[in-house]
Chains A and B, each alone.
Chain A
Amino acid sequence: MTEQPSGVVRVVVVDDHAMFRRGVIAELEASARGRIEVVGQAADVDEAVAVIGRGAPDVVLLDVHLPGGGGAEVMRRCGPTEVRHLALSVSDAAEDVIGTIRGGARGYVTKTITGEELVDAIVRVSEGDAVFSPRLAGFVLDAFAGSIEVASVDEDLDRLTEREREVMRLIARGYSYKEVAKELFISIKTVETHMSAVLRKLQLSSRHELTRWASDRRLL
């Protein structure tokens, strides 16, 4: 937030249903005027890549099901950028959700989310945090336990630490970040660190990739 000069989060909305797109934009303008600015919208993968390149948004609200390969394809074609992606989908099939997170999204929310929650999620993602809904936390626990078969999840997922598992459990139980912090006697910042670690482990499938990620950022 501090690196935004004006404090306004620039958002691109990508969804192939014009009605829903309009609804989301109206909702954002109504409940977050001055905090969120919609700088573009797109209906398919090609359009999305072009709009993202042009609009230089902070956050992309990305539908999982899109003509041309889905939200994962948009993230793949955008490559590693500063832009942060937040998946917004009506589908809560484990394969779609986990697949999109593995593609690089920083969070996942369903389309029945309220306006305030959506604004909150967008702002959090723009600040670099991960946004996990209870349902996504459940999928994550399932994926790491190996009890859902998701084609894109490798066998050698790095394990979650006990603390990360604990945090995910609380999120799945419907706790907010603040409540998780209180419950575990840690700071909110620590909760967010754990969430980011979970996200990273999900996106980087193997130990090898995790090591490379760390050394790229001079953490090793």
Chain B
Amino acid sequence: MSTVPSAPPVREVRRAHRDPDDQLIGGVAAGLAHHLAVPVLWVRVGFVLAAAAGGIGIAFYAGLWVMLPASPPRPAAPPGLESASRDGRRPRHRPRVRDAGPIVALGAVGLGLLFVLGGGATWVWPVAIGIVGVALLWRQADEAQRERWLDATGRVDISRVVLGRGGWAAYARLAAGAVLVLGALVLFALRGGSFSLARDITIATLLGVAGILVVAGPWVYRLATELTDERAERVRTQERADVAAHLHDSVLQTLALIQKNPADASRLARAQERDLRSWLYSGETADERTVASALRAIAADLEDRWGIAVDVVAVGDRDLGEGERPVVAAAREALTNAAKHAGVDRVDVYAEITDDSLDVFVRDRGAGFDPDATPEGRLGVRGSIIDRMARHGGTAEIRSGPGEGTEVRLHLSGTTEEAEQ
């Protein structure tokens, strides 16, 4: 059997992200949990255990915080939904962590650690204060970056980047961070006696420089990598969303009304509405790369050709390979039969597509027929549906009776790989 060699599967690169919607500190654990597909609690416990074991967890967390991009690249929603979201017309997803509880708990844990570790040693306090200062500065930069994304004018303003939207909180944080870093340096310098002063100050300066590098380095790094596509993406989606909002207000609403009139306008209205709807809302494609999209493409074709409405509901999906094609072809034949002979203006298609089976149901409420009394000469049903399915290891069942409508059930079991062999 000569089959067209299918294209090699494209390897998708999975990238980890921080999750700003589900954060206790930086959203690192939530992002990592999502990436590794494990419960977020395990990751958090792991970090805590690693932090207790010599602090490697803290270093690891900090490193990931620096390196991971802030939020996953959201797949662009259809423009109508983008627009409705920006206008606040859609149900909003509420952030899970709202109260100050986690922050208080984190603070308490940090203080406790300080007391446990720093019982006697004098160096602990300056270092701890320094770390808090750097953390505050870092967090400031982190939030400023998010503010930058929300900037409507699209220009990058340095003061905006540092201070976010401004306000006393931002200034206070900036000042507190700076004071804490400076304080750490001063404390460190004063601690030593006169003979070690020079060396201490050198070390302190080095620490300060390192701190600034830690703060600014990743920011510059991320700015360079993300700025360009962020801006392009924002401009593009806003443009599309505004057009979409306009179309929704005018064309789509009108079409929905026209469609109810049983005039000749209904066929045109249906085609137009389907196009607009898929562009505006559903984000479903009809590019025939997957089973569901192939069924939708067939439905659209038959809607145009026969002037009926075909409602496709698909649960799950998988790629359209050689193994699935007979089912799609049989479904097409069943739909064509329904359009030709049933004499109704609406047909339902339901597909349930899992990894190990594929079921398609085509149902109409039309004239119906007696399946046993089909004349020998009529080969559509037997050849194109039943025999085709049987040849490819599936089954087809036709339930119909005069006046009861018709339902064609197509079933194919086996995974994609099995079906291809």
CB proximity to B under 8 Å, residues A96-127: 96, 99-100, 103, 111-112, 114-115
The residue from A73, A112, A138 contacting B259, defined by CB atoms under 8 A apart: A112
**Which B residues are in CB contact (< 8 Å) with A73?**
91
Q: A19-B257, A20-B257, A70-B89 are in contact. Are A173 and B363 (CB under 8 A)?
A: yes
The residue from B81, B259, B313, B316 contacting A96, defined by CB atoms under 8 A apart: B81
Q: Is the CB of B281 within 8 A of A172?
A: no
CB proximity to A under 8 Å, residues B72-107: 77-78, 80-81, 84, 87-93
Tell me if A66 is interfacial: C-beta within 8 Å of chain B. Answer: yes
Q: Would you give the shortest CB distance from B237 to chain A, in whole angstroms? A: 16
Q: Is the CB of A138 within 8 A of B281?
A: no
**Which A residues are in CB contact (< 8 Å) with B317?**
147
**Which B residues are in CB contact (< 8 Å) with A68?**
88-89
Q: Is the CB of B88 within 8 A of A173?
A: no
**Which A residues are in CB contact (< 8 Å) with B88?**
67-70
The residue from B256, B283, B348, B361 contacting A90, defined by CB atoms under 8 A apart: B256
Chain B 258-281, CB-CB to A under 8 Å as 1, else 0, gives 011000000000000100010011
Q: A138-B314, A147-B316, A173-B361 are in contact. Are A17 and B249 (CB under 8 A)?
A: yes
CB proximity to B under 8 Å, residues A62-109: 64-73, 90-93, 95-96, 99-100, 103
Q: Is the CB of B90 within 8 A of A23?
A: no
**Which B residues are in CB contact (< 8 Å) with A95?**
81, 90
Distance A73 CA – B89 CA, assembled complex (angstroms): 9
**Which A residues are in CB contact (< 8 Å) with B314?**
138
Distance A147 CA – B280 CA, assembled complex (angstroms): 22
**Which A residues are in CB contact (< 8 Å) with B78?**
93
The residue from A64, A65, A115, A135 contacting B313, defined by CB atoms under 8 A apart: A135
Chain B 293-318, CB-CB to A under 8 Å as 1, else 0, gives 00000000000000000010111110
Q: Is the CB of B348 within 8 A of A91?
A: no
Q: Which B-chain residue is minimally distant from A143 (CB atoms)?
A: B315
Q: Is the CB of B260 within 8 A of A96?
A: no
**Which A residues are in CB contact (< 8 Å) with B90?**
64-65, 70, 95-96, 99
Q: Is the CB of B283 within 8 A of A93?
A: yes
Tell me if A142 is interfacial: C-beta within 8 Å of chain B. Answer: yes
Distance A20 CA – B87 CA, assembled complex (angstroms): 20
Q: Which A-chain residue is minimally distant from B365 (CB atoms)?
A: A174
Tell me if B352 is interfacial: C-beta within 8 Å of chain A. Answer: yes
**Which A residues are in CB contact (< 8 Å) with B369?**
none
**Which A residues are in CB contact (< 8 Å) with B311?**
134-135, 174
Q: Is the CB of A111 within 8 A of B316?
A: no
**Which B residues are in CB contact (< 8 Å) with A151?**
93
Q: Would you give the shortest CB distance from A182 to chain B, in whole angstroms? A: 11
Q: Is the CB of A100 within 8 A of B91?
A: yes
**Which A residues are in CB contact (< 8 Å) with B219?**
none
Q: Is the CB of B315 within 8 A of A138?
A: yes
Q: Is the CB of B81 within 8 A of A138?
A: no
Tell me if A161 is interfacial: C-beta within 8 Å of chain B. Answer: no
**10 shortest interchain CB distances as A-B pairs:** A174-B348, A72-B91, A138-B313, A173-B350, A65-B89, A99-B91, A151-B93, A141-B315, A65-B84, A70-B91
Could you tell me which B residues sit within 8 Å of A by CB distance?
77-78, 80-81, 84, 87-93, 248-249, 252-254, 256-257, 259-260, 273, 277, 280-283, 311, 313-317, 348, 350, 352, 361, 363, 407
If A69-B89, A134-B311, A175-B363 are given as contacts, then 15 extra A-B residue pairs at C-beta distance below 8 Å, sorted by A number, are A20-B253, A91-B80, A93-B281, A93-B283, A112-B256, A114-B260, A115-B260, A142-B315, A142-B316, A145-B316, A147-B316, A173-B313, A173-B348, A173-B350, A174-B348
